A and B are shown apart, each in its own frame.
Chain A
Amino acid sequence: MSDILVYALHYEGAYNKNSLGAISEGAKLAGELGGECHVVVIGDAQNLSDDFCASLGAFGAKKVFRVEGPEGLSQPVIDAMETIIRANGQKYALFGGGLLGFEIGAGLAARMQAGVSMEVTNVRAEGGELIAERPVWGDSTISVKKFVGDLGIIIGRLNAFEARQGEGAAAVEDVQVEFKAHSLRSKMVQRGEQRGADVNIEDADFLVAGGRGLGKAEGFDLLESLAQSMGGAVAATRAVVDAGWYPYAAQIGQTGKTVAPKLYLAAGISGAIQHKVGMQASENIVAINKDSNAPIFDFCDLGIVGDLNKIVPKLTEAIKAKKGG
């Protein structure tokens, strides 16, 4: 029997989209292996009602293990998953893309002496086993991995697995977990703080995004003018949000938003994987970067090697003139 255990991240009464995708994927794969998809949720008792847990059945979960414990931290989840796997013998642990999944999956690999593959974009069942595909070296090659031992751990790339909602309710089983001492030595002081203005980028057809190549926070003024000329909005990379140049709500990528506008114009963005996963579905990608080796030139539709400080203002004027004329 090859059951798959999926971790479901939740916040303020909603499940994470990538977790739901992992559940749907896990259900599909477990079906092919002749097993079931199980899910672990962890949190305050008041946040984990029967209905909230059972609702994961609609995505393919057969059973949901409910654990009372701290939310938003990885190490208590490692303890919980260890307890559940030792008692139930799931053969694989699966995580949707995101920060916590990396931490939990890796820690679980250490705890269970298991193999782990991360940034996985595709999983398939073959001969009763799961095979994971992971792009490497800036996505130029795909490395195909399998697992040996009792447990294989697969951590998906952001948006790799699509959530498919159907009907049904999962059985809910409460699990008591004895947390390790070190798992209780971290305390969440504040979770999910929104830094900067609450901007809406998800509904925009045209996005102009800026990265470190802008050189300074004021560089965003150029992008705002350009976005305005096109009737679009401005987005940002994690590096510049962490630096305080632009609001978190405008951030694209691994720990930000995923967008797919008609046009994504990236200025001063190198195109690291963590950013790419949040915008690669855009219909048209235009990149302006002075470094001709920037990875973004490998997946844009139109790339301009040059100084954005020279190009963006002139482009803004040209678009305004065109629209006016």
Chain B
Amino acid sequence: MKICVLVKEVPDAAVQKRLGSDGRMDRSGERNLNPYDTHAIEEAVRIKEAGAVTVDEVVAVSMGPDSAERAIRKAISLGVDRAIHLSDEALAGSDVAGTGYALAKALEREAPDLVLLGQQSDDGECYTIGAVVADHLGMPSLTQVIKMDVTEGKLVAERQAEYGYDTVEIQTPAVISVGDAINEPRYPSLKAIMGAKKKPVDKVGIGDVGIEAGRVGTDGARCVWTSEKAPPQKAGGQIIEDEDTNETVEKIVAWLDERKLI
């Protein structure tokens, strides 16, 4: 079988995130592979290693500007065999629906048996790309999966939903977004990092995968940013740096006591 993993470049968590004057994310500053995606890659590699099904290859699919190649190389160093990098000026400013459509078109060409992705991206925090992609591909889908068992032609997935844990049996091909509880991603070896530079990254534009220009980018967006505003201000809390724990605890107790909480 073939597993495709959707990966994304995001600003590094340590970098202050902000919107540019056009309401799009300001993507300057440090960038990295979306941490949630590393769990999807790890799961793909584990399925391959476990051998319950024969995995011929694991392919990373990413949409983003040229700079995203660094994140893609990182994905490769974590065990991906090759990558598709969908990059096109026309894609800039795509909304969730446009992004999912574009990724689905890139995936269609690969005809995967399983599509994995991280349950959310560290930037937009949308939990939704998996569901958009699945609908375009006409595949069953489940998000926020924390355990899965893949066998020939089907998988059994567990996730936490509104009323507790659900167990769902799904026929493949399918689109599964994984939560960070599903596994502990390994660190790449130095050899894998070096080797990642030599693996193929196929750079494609919208014409190469049959994306209609009118459905993506700023013009294709159906949910449109109009303005931004500041949230209601909440008075900042008191912060104590713990240097002398006995003193810190005294302060906490006094604080609680003042409010009649003890």
Q: A144-B229, A311-B248 are in contact. Are A99 and B161 (CB under 8 A)?
A: yes
Residues of A within 8 A of B240 (CB): 302-306
Cα of A238 to Cα of B165 in the assembled complex, Å: 12
Cα of A188 to Cα of B165 in the assembled complex, Å: 11
Docked-complex contact A102 and B127, CB < 8 angstroms: yes
Taken residue by residue from 234 to 259, chain B's Cβ proximity to chain A (1 for < 8 Å, 0 otherwise) reads as 10011111100110111011011101
Residues of B within 8 A of A153 (CB): 223
Docked-complex contact A107 and B169, CB < 8 angstroms: no
Residues of A within 8 A of B74 (CB): none
- List 13 contacting pairs A-B, 8 Å CB cutoff, sorted by A: A105-B128, A118-B127, A138-B17, A141-B231, A144-B226, A148-B222, A186-B169, A186-B170, A297-B239, A307-B242, A314-B246, A318-B253, A322-B262
Docked-complex contact A187 and B225, CB < 8 angstroms: no
Docked-complex contact B231 and A306, CB < 8 angstroms: no
Taken residue by residue from 125 to 165, chain B's Cβ proximity to chain A (1 for < 8 Å, 0 otherwise) reads as 11111111111101111111010000000001000111111
Closest Cβ of chain B: how far from A193's Cβ, in Å?
4
Which of these, A192, A273, A310, A319, contacts B245 with CB under 8 Å? Answer: A310
8 A Cβ contacts from A199-248 to B: 206, 230, 238-239, 241-243, 248
Which of these, B127, B169, B222, B248, contacts A189 with CB under 8 Å? Answer: B169
Docked-complex contact B139 and A182, CB < 8 angstroms: yes
Taken residue by residue from 298 to 325, chain A's Cβ proximity to chain B (1 for < 8 Å, 0 otherwise) reads as 0111111111001100110011001100
Docked-complex contact B18 and A137, CB < 8 angstroms: yes
Which of these, A99, A119, A133, contacts B125 with CB under 8 Å? Answer: A119
Docked-complex contact A242 and B160, CB < 8 angstroms: yes
Cα of A50 to Cα of B257 in the assembled complex, Å: 54
Which of these, B95, B162, B262, contacts A98 with CB under 8 Å? Answer: B162
Q: A72-B161, A194-B164, A306-B248 are in contact. Are A322 and B19 (CB under 8 A)?
A: no
Q: Is A47 interfacial (CB-CB < 8 Å)?
A: no
Closest Cβ of chain A: how far from B134's Cβ, in Å?
7
Instruction: Name the CB-closest residue of B to A72.
Output: B166
Those 5 A-B pairs whose CB atoms lie nearest each other, nearest first: A306-B242, A115-B223, A115-B222, A106-B128, A242-B181
Residues of A within 8 A of B234 (CB): 299
Other A-B pairs, 9, CB within 8 Å; known A185-B170, A239-B181: A109-B132, A111-B135, A118-B127, A141-B228, A145-B226, A146-B226, A195-B165, A299-B234, A311-B248
Cα of A74 to Cα of B225 in the assembled complex, Å: 27
Cα of A135 to Cα of B248 in the assembled complex, Å: 34
Docked-complex contact A241 and B160, CB < 8 angstroms: yes
Instruction: Name the CB-closest residue of B to A110.
Output: B135
Residues of B within 8 A of A310 (CB): 242, 245
Which of these, B223, B227, B252, contacts A315 with CB under 8 Å? Answer: B252
Residues of B within 8 A of A187 (CB): 168-170
Which of A106, A186, A195, A293 has the most chain B CB within a 10 Å cutoff? A106
Docked-complex contact B140 and A301, CB < 8 angstroms: no
Cα of A215 to Cα of B167 in the assembled complex, Å: 28
Cα of A181 to Cα of B134 in the assembled complex, Å: 13
8 A Cβ contacts from A1-45 to B: 9, 11-12, 16
Docked-complex contact B163 and A192, CB < 8 angstroms: yes
